Amino acid sequence: MKKVGFIGCSVPERHFYEKALPDLDLVFYDISDDYRGFDKDIRILSVFTNYNVTADVINHLPRLELIACRSTGYNHIDLTLAKKRGVRIANAPGYGRQAVAEYVFALLLNLSRKVKLTIEEEDGNDPIDRARERGFNLFGKTIGIVGLGSVGQGVAQIAHGFGMNVMAYDPLPDSEFAQRNHVELADDVETLLKKSDIVTLHVPFSRQQAHFIDEARLETMKKSAILINTARGELVDTVALVTALRNGDIAGAALDVVEDEYLLDPAEFIRFASEEIDENRALALRHATAILALERLDNAIVTNHNAYNTVEAIDEIANMTVENIKGYISGGKVCEVQI
């Protein structure tokens, strides 16, 4: 009987997996648990993006064969060592398409109508400043979608409901979808950035995509533009973004993902602060400082990787994870990532 380790599951999720995988030996750990306590007989490890599967974790599990991600992204895994060890990676592609697309507009409306500022003023003792709270309509604005995959397409469809103009950039665009849904395809990212009132990111992360939105691209955007990121934190240079917002280079930003986002968890931050600071941790500390700065800006919103979090999307993730595990054991279908 293969042993399967799950990290970071809620109690209802544990019950689901125990019922769905009765013939397997399941063990559960919290994300704060020391990996050195993980059972060395684990053959399959299942994690979400909030747990980093480091070289230390992989080396601690000598019988590890498969990492089943309860997510689409997998950049929280040491892929180099996984490939060297022959550990396969499975993910849950396309889950939460509607959940994430809708969350983009939850963030956008919060910024466009200055909801965060309005609530703060309503709760405060100072006189209400209607001029300061004044927002703008989405109708007639151009939304630029970087990445016209499953989520990007969902964003495009919702945007039309607001009467927005839709532009998209994708190196391999679905031209049929674009034509059917009145999406203008940009020839390059820079063109999209220059023309868009709102820019929303829906691309996967790779080392080549690190700081996809950097200082230069922020300067390319309209001064009235809003940037939204629900994809991967590493796509945006957080420090450059803080500078751009403070200098008025862009009007606002809403981020559901940030660089080194695990530091948003107070327990993780305390653990981090107690460890010796090396070069990598020094960079993470800089990111944490930038995140704190963003949280204090009126024109920025930071949420803790919550875009996917609906009842329907969680069910999708759980079912796809079960299918990946069953498929791997039986030699059947697995949503495997090529690394």
Q: By percentage, how much of the chain surpasses pLDDT 70?
A: 94
Lowest-pLDDT choice from 56-60, 119-123, 283-287: 283-287
Helix axes 97-112 and 115-123, enclosed angle (nearest 10): 60
pLDDT at 125 (0 to 100): 74
Q: Cβ(232)–Cβ(205) under 8 Å?
A: yes
Sheet holding 252-255, edge to edge: 183-185, 165-169, 142-146, 198-201, 226-229, 252-255, 300-302
Q: Strands 226-229 and 3-7, how do they pair?
A: unpaired
Element at 259 (helix H, strand E): none
Element at 77 (helix H, strand E): none
The per-residue pLDDT for range 35-55, each reduced to its tens digit, is 999 999 999 999 998 899 999
Strands, E assignment, 165-279: 165-169, 183-185, 198-201, 226-229, 252-255
What positions carry a catalytic annotation? 232, 261, 305
For the residues 146-151, what does the mean pLDDT come to? 95
Other Cβ atoms closer than 10 A to 61: 23
Q: Is residue 199's pLDDT more than 80?
A: yes
pLDDT at 332 (0 to 100): 94
Residues in CB range of 213: below 8 A, 6 or more apart: 199, 201, 227, 229, 235, 236, 237, 241
pLDDT at 37 (0 to 100): 97
Report the alpha-carbon distance of residue 246 to residue 147 in Å, rounded: 27
The per-residue pLDDT for range 285-311, each reduced to its tens digit, is 778 788 888 989 999 999 988 999 999
Pick left, alpha or beta for residue 113 (phi over 0 → left; psi -120 to 50 → alpha; otherwise beta). Answer: alpha
Residue corresponding to tokens 């994870």: 321
The per-residue pLDDT for range 12-22, each reduced to its tens digit, is 999 999 999 99
Average pLDDT, the chain: 92
Helix axes 279-295 and 266-273, enclosed angle (nearest 10): 140
Ordered by where they begin, the domains of the chain are: 3-95+311-337 (3.40.50.720), 97-302 (3.40.50.720)
Residue length, the chain? 339
Q: Cβ(135)–Cβ(155) under 8 Å?
A: no
Q: Strands 25-29 and 66-69, how do they pair?
A: unpaired
Q: Cβ(165)–Cβ(186) under 8 Å?
A: no
Report the alpha-carbon distance of residue 129 to residue 194 in Å, rounded: 32
- Residue 59 — very low, low, confident or very high, per pLDDT cuts 50/70/90? very high
The per-residue pLDDT for range 242-277, each reduced to its tens digit, is 999 999 999 999 999 998 777 667 666 666 666 776
pLDDT at 75 (0 to 100): 85
